[in-house]
Copies of this chain bind each other. A is one copy, B any other.
């Protein structure tokens, strides 16, 4: 007969209480929880009954204090609002939940300081690993964390020369695909709505675009007009149009991601600029909604779910500290998805 008289017990139950209730030692209770095969059947039953009767819930921090690393991994993104991350997250979550790992989500909001702050907290929590899309260009602090024993995998960012594992999509190649596509349609003046060039992905896509222009025997300086947005949101995408002379300016717009393209599309419609006739537009990422936009958006597809899954996988091996594992880099290839917004069957851009 378990009978709780106290209306609201102050102290939470511990294994000591369970042990007393079941008439065994704490060591045995611990064994029931962690190595039940060592415990005799009847004892097992009895202890389990006590646990249930008392409503005992093990204390994870205490466990961890003794045991070592935590069961949560950190995932740091630059902006949770970005649908790209939303589509990568399920891939990560799927893999982590298989390992019964908790996912601690941090958003650096593109601030190096906030990133540093969160990293510090994660280290204090003794997480076994961190999956991160760094806010800044310098990743030496990440290498340092890795050296201190925290698994570290760069997400959507090449590890390059550094000692870090990385999972990325080839952004230079993506930029090339986009550039080549627009050039093949006859465009010779391309507006590039880009993010800040300290963001690696942005810089790489620009590089790819330039490569494509040069490959066509043209001068990037002549062909490409870049507008740098402070943030990759629809609002900024729309606002960026102001800084671009629409008439007599570019005949095509390459947006550094679909979110920006969405804003651009909205803005162009308001200004009565027809897409793709007056202006071709393409995005990047091929997020879920790209195909359903008006007009449907040509984009560069990234295997987002796979990206997340592979990153999680790599993090698992990295944080296990498997011998024989040094840094590894997985690079996925982007894919050009042609849709209406670039009017692929266009003879020559108007005017």
Contacts of A148 in B (CB 8 A): 55
A249 CB within 8 Å of chain B? no
Q: Could you tell me the distance between the alpha carbons of A107 and B89 in the complex, rounded to whole angstroms? A: 10
Q: Which of A53-106 contact B (CB under 8 A)?
A: 55, 57-62, 64-65, 70-72, 80-81, 83, 86-87, 89-90, 93, 97, 100, 102-106
A184 CB within 8 Å of chain B? no
Q: How many copies does the complex hold?
A: 2
Q: Which of A222-266 contact B (CB under 8 A)?
A: 234, 259, 262, 265-266
Contact pick for A105, options B61, B62, B87, B103, CB 8 Å: B103
Measured between C-beta atoms, what is the minimum distance from A101 to chain B in Å? 10
Count of interface residues, chain A, beta-carbon cutoff 8 Å:
50
Measured between C-beta atoms, what is the minimum distance from A122 to chain B in Å? 8
Contacts of A197 in B (CB 8 A): none
A292 CB within 8 Å of chain B? yes
A319 CB within 8 Å of chain B? no
Contacts of A34 in B (CB 8 A): none
A125 CB within 8 Å of chain B? yes
What is the interface of chain A, defined by CB distance below 8 A to chain B?
Answer: 55, 57-62, 64-65, 70-72, 80-81, 83, 86-87, 89-90, 93, 97, 100, 102-107, 114, 118, 120-121, 123-126, 148, 234, 259, 262, 265-266, 288-289, 291-296
Q: Can you list 27 A-B contacts with CB-CB less than 8 angstroms, sorted by A residue number? A: A55-B148, A60-B121, A61-B61, A61-B125, A62-B65, A71-B121, A81-B86, A83-B83, A83-B86, A83-B288, A93-B107, A100-B121, A102-B104, A102-B106, A102-B118, A102-B125, A103-B106, A104-B104, A105-B105, A259-B288, A262-B289, A265-B292, A266-B292, A289-B293, A292-B294, A293-B294, A294-B295
